[in-house]
Structure 1
Amino acid sequence: MPPDSPNPASPHRIRRNGDGERQWSVVLSCSVVTLLCLTSGVTIAIPSNVFLDLAQKDSPHRLTIFQQSVFAALASAGAVVGGLAGGWVADRWGRKCSLMFTGVPVLVGYLFISYAHFSPVTETFVILLYVGRLLTGIAMGSSSAVVGVYITEVSSPKLRGLFGTAQECLVVAGITLNYALGSINGFLYHQTSLVVAGIVTLFEVLMVWMPETPRSLLSRGYATEAEKALQWLRGPNSPTAAKELIKRSNKTS
């Protein structure tokens, strides 16, 4: 190859092709938010664990067929509310804020379900299960509405499809996790609930360090913050891209 010919693998050529953008930060951000999808998978499947555990001879509590139906249905009812509320919060205060708010009903809901196991009063047991199930349903609806938006707005085109698929894969992984934990001898539904509470606690801690999406910041008038967020996500090439986004935003406003 002549000395003056450009090396196809040179850093300059990579940067011109857009392949020099930082990827690990996008992978990290998307991986953190999909933890909520993992908890949604458990929410879908956990009624089977609850009903099987309560059917055991040594179980201190029982649910009637009607109570089981109500318990299962409350998550769907909560998901409707959560989807609407999550989208509204995401537009008003940002995607990151909405996702962090979503973690709260997951945590509280599964703590309620876990604590219900130790309640000596049947009525209190049922109420705690109902409230916990409703809260986890609200979180499931909110996460399904906002996680995909966050992934779309922070990821590069090359990673967008991958993490869009990962969102659904993590839901399936959550279902599998629920059944796997339920298959362990002596591992009851209230212990599965504590595992989910631990996962969402990890999510909340990690999410503090994740950026808001540049598009959300721009739409709310935070141009400087949008540039910083894009720089964190894309690396050294991001200021130019951010300024271009700002120009486009100003033209359309």
Structure 2
Amino acid sequence: MTDETYEMPQNVPDTPKTIQTIPLGDQRKAVLRQELMVLLMNLGMLINGTTLALPSVTLDHLTNPAEVIHLDKSQASWYGKTSASTVACPIGCFAGVFLVDKFGRKASVCLVNILGIFSWILMSTAFYDDPSYVFLQLMASRLLSGIAAGSGSSPASVYGAEISSPKLRARLTNVTSMAISAGVLLIYIVGYFIREDWRLLGMVMLAYQFVCLILLIPVKETPSWLLSKGRIDEAKASLSYFRGLGVGETHVEVENEFTLLRVAVPQNADKEKVSFFKSFCLPEVYKPLLIAVIFFVCQQFSGTFVVVVYAVQIITKAGVLIDPFLCAIYVGIARFIVTSVVITWQLENWGRRQVSIFSAATTGLCLLVLAGSSWFTWLHIPTLSAVAIVSFVVASAGLWTIPFLILPEIFPQKVRGAFCGFTVGVADLIAFSSIKIFPSMVDWMGTGNVFAFYGCIAVLTIFFVYWFIPETKGKTFLEIEDCFRTKK
């Protein structure tokens, strides 16, 4: 098989003809294969967003005293917080630490979809006459969906990083964040049309999750994981597939890439093999871990997840006159468009640091506007609040995306799967704390002061990113690893 080539235009007479070779991994056939496999892997990851935003579209109906079956204030509090950001999600993340490396990226995502199916079954079949039994079944559903969301966060993003060519890495790794945003949008849309029947909503999502499981059948496992298990022929075939070659075909680029991969993986697996807990002592592990955890603290206490969970409630309290469910859809559309189009473009042109700094600055500004609209009566304008909320969702897309995106990049190959899952687990504990205490913060501090607090955290994030977040754009995994190993 020959390389695809194109001739540069000749503007100057007597200039020698220039031939530029497009790397195999960046040719159209290879790109389509990488994008298709990453898409199929991440379809089920919409459960992260649907689970996170579900309380926003179901709480009003579930707590309506006019309904025969409704939850009291305490039950609603636990139902509303037991989402992808609750204690259930870290359980899935910590379990995924061992599953993703032992059974592979594909098997881990299959498990996510199976757990998601059972969670939606529990929600859609809660037909008891006793509210206590309904509450218990809903809690079981939420716990399962939280575990599913947590266990799927790591393998989906790691998969995109491991199969992609360096040029496509940011785009394909970002698909997981896009899937979360798409899940939020999906549940807002379904909730808008089925706002009075949460059981039917569960049935619709059950059908979707089942289709996602079926579509995983043709997905190929990553070459890195296959090689780590000693399945050399399968690993080479997988790499050839993702570089656009047919069955049995070979190419010098694939041979060279596979040789480097084969040298790197056994070196990580044999020469530098350490246990999960001993890995904490390695500078190339504990440095990115510490940076990632602090970055997630900044992310969560800038209100990025809180506004998603309480979107309808926040919009209602802000005095916005349009249908809060419809406004929530606008919020979801804005986040999805920014996450899928704008952020991807910015990442490929600006890099991770510049996107993070810009997002933190604009997020802080929107939050301070929301705080001002609560403090000053002359700023208490429903339209201004609506614009600020939507602008916040758009602006915070970078803070929503970048922490998850850099995880597969900053951890070395030998611990990537395990520590991505572990870090997301810690992040979800932080998210659970931020979401759980939000109502208490509002009661204690007032809505305006809470938004001001979030805004100050967003501003502090600018300085943190500037001083501590490394730029990974255009760097190989080995270059990033060496940066943490050798620099302060």
Indicate the TM-score class for this superposition, using the shorter chain for normalisation: 0.7 to 0.9
Cα distance in structure 1, aligned partners of 2:266 and 2:154: 27
Structure 1 pair 249–58 and aligned structure 2 pair: CA distance change class (3 A): same
Deviations 1:191-236 (A, max 9, x none): 2222322222122111121011111111122111111111221122
Cα distance in structure 1, aligned partners of 2:143 and 2:217: 26
Q: Which residue of 1 aligns with 2:76?
A: 68
Q: CA deviation at 1:72?
A: 2.5
Letter in 2 for 1:144: S
Q: Which TM-score applies when normalising by structure 2?
A: 0.47
Written as runs of structure 1 = structure 2, the 5 A alignment for 1:37-52 is 37-52=45-60
Q: Does 1:110 align with 2:126?
A: no
Q: Which residue of 2 aligns with 1:99?
A: 109
What secondary structure sits across from 2:69 in the alignment? coil
- Indicate if the aligned counterparts of 1:49 and 1:188 stay in contact, CA closer than 8 A: no
Q: Does 1:184 align with 2:184?
A: no
Q: CA deviation at 1:121?
A: 3.2
Letter in 2 for 1:114: S
Q: Does 1:87 align with 2:103?
A: no
Which among 239, 246, 251 is matched to residue 262 of structure 2?
A: 246
Q: Does 1:225 align with 2:234?
A: yes
Q: Which structure has the greater CA radius of gyration?
A: 2
What secondary structure sits across from 2:58 in the alignment? helix
Q: Does 1:26 align with 2:34?
A: yes
Which among 139, 142, 152 is matched to residue 161 of structure 2?
A: 152
Cα distance in structure 1, aligned partners of 2:55 and 2:233: 46
Structure 2: any 5+ residue segments left out of the alignment? 1-9, 246-250, 271-488
Structure 1: any 5+ residue segments left out of the alignment? none
Letter in 2 for 1:151: G
- Indicate if the aligned counterparts of 2:93 and 2:151 stay in contact, CA closer than 8 A: yes
Structure 1 pair 186–145 and aligned structure 2 pair: CA distance change class (3 A): closer
Q: Which residue of 1 aligns with 2:176?
A: 167
Root-mean-square deviation (Å) = 2.5
Cα distance in structure 2, aligned partners of 1:154 and 1:111: 33
Deviations 1:126-147 (A, max 9, x none): 1210100000000111122222
Q: CA deviation at 1:150?
A: 1.2
Cα distance in structure 2, aligned partners of 1:161 and 1:231: 21
Q: CA deviation at 1:119?
A: 2.5
What secondary structure sits across from 2:82 in the alignment? helix
Q: Which residue of 2 aligns with 1:214?
A: 223
Identity %: 27
Q: CA deviation at 1:188?
A: 2.6
Q: Which residue of 2 aligns with 1:141?
A: 150
Q: CA deviation at 1:22?
A: 1.1
* Aligned residue-pair number: 248
Q: Which TM-score applies when normalising by structure 1?
A: 0.87
Which among 22, 46, 49 is matched to residue 14 of structure 1?
A: 22
Structure 1 pair 18–135 and aligned structure 2 pair: CA distance change class (3 A): closer
Q: CA deviation at 1:183?
A: 1.6
Letter in 1 for 2:237: K
- Indicate if the aligned counterparts of 1:37 and 1:167 stay in contact, CA closer than 8 A: yes
Structure 1 pair 129–156 and aligned structure 2 pair: CA distance change class (3 A): same
Cα distance in structure 2, aligned partners of 1:119 and 1:146: 37
